[in-house]
Amino acid sequence: MRIVVFGANGPTGRLLTEQALAAGYDVVAVTRRPAEFPITHERLDVVGADVHDAQAVDRAVEGADVVLSTLGVPFTREPINIYSDGIRNITAAMFRHGVKRVVVVSSSATEPHHHADGGFLLNRVLQPLITATIGKTTYRDMRRMEELLRDSNLDWTIMRPSGLFDAPAVTSYELHEDQAPGIFTSRADLAASLLEQAIEVRFVHKAVAVTTREGAPTLFQMLRREAFKRD
């Protein structure tokens, strides 16, 4: 099976590429800066393409069996369109080349809800604050991406992780349709869930929450880590 990964040079995209190669798949890693891509393999093609460039996206999708998108950008108050423009060009290319299966990364924050594990701080303070301020343009464009997929005739699945953190290995992550109680998702588990859904049909035309229990930080640990993080 030939898997095309958009956003392959991001933290989740690199993990997904490594996991797909380890599972024996042929992988096309799509990134704006192919010379900086750190992974090499005999079954890996690294393709330079900007998802805003419809022709470049079309060339990348040609020959694919499955398309996986880990596209992402940092929070900003500026307008964002990478998710909606990207999926618009990706789905158009898929139609042209007869590719049906697509799995994308969105966020649990596209539909803010009460998290059973979140407590007062997350549910009543942090989630409303982030979705209304620094995350507003990101989540707005993610929702546009989701709507474009729902309006398509493709076999799509939307993965909605919660707060992302790094972990050394894949765990027994949880998948729930629409919403889940957990508040964290490891990038390794997110990558593994994308790869799982590449061949699964249980969640076709569904939005799926993916959460990590094993090794997940507490909310206070995550806040402290973000507060003292250095570039």
Between these two residues, 105 and 110, which has the higher pLDDT value?
Answer: 105
Residue in this structure with the two tokens 């096309």, named with its chain if needed: 28
Determine the pLDDT at residue 151: 97
Of the candidates 190, 210, 226, which has an alpha carbon nearest to the alpha carbon of residue 68? Answer: 190
The predicted model scores a pTM of: 0.87
222, two tokens: 């995550």
pLDDT band at 119; cut points 50, 70, 90: low
Q: Is the pLDDT of residue 173 over 90?
A: yes
For the chain, give the mean pLDDT.
88
How confident is the model over 53-77, as a mean pLDDT?
Answer: 94
pLDDT in tens, 123-149: 544 555 555 555 578 889 999 999 999
CATH 3.30.70.600 fits 2-227, yes or no: no
Q: How far apart are CA 32 and CA 21, in angstroms?
A: 21
Query: Under DSSP, is residue 40 helix (H, G, I), strand (E, B) or coil?
Result: coil
CA 152 distance to own-chain centroid? 19
137, two tokens: 């343009």
Q: Where are any strands of DSSP class E within the chain?
A: 2-6, 26-31, 44-48, 66-69, 101-105, 155-161, 163-165, 174-177, 184-186, 206-211
Q: Is the pLDDT of residue 14 over 70?
A: yes
- Cβ neighbour number for residue 225 with a 10 Å cutoff: 12
How confident is the model over 35-57, as a mean pLDDT?
Answer: 98
Determine the pLDDT at residue 115: 52
Q: Is the pLDDT of residue 65 over 70?
A: yes
pLDDT in tens, 186-215: 999 999 999 999 999 999 999 999 999 887
pLDDT in tens, 71-106: 998 767 788 999 999 999 999 999 999 999 999 999
Determine the pLDDT at residue 102: 99
Cβ atoms of 20 and 197 closer than 8 Å: no
DSSP 26: E
119 backbone φψ class: left, alpha, beta (φ>0; ψ -120 to 50): left
In the chain, % of residues over pLDDT 90: 71
Cβ atoms of 158 and 206 closer than 8 Å: yes
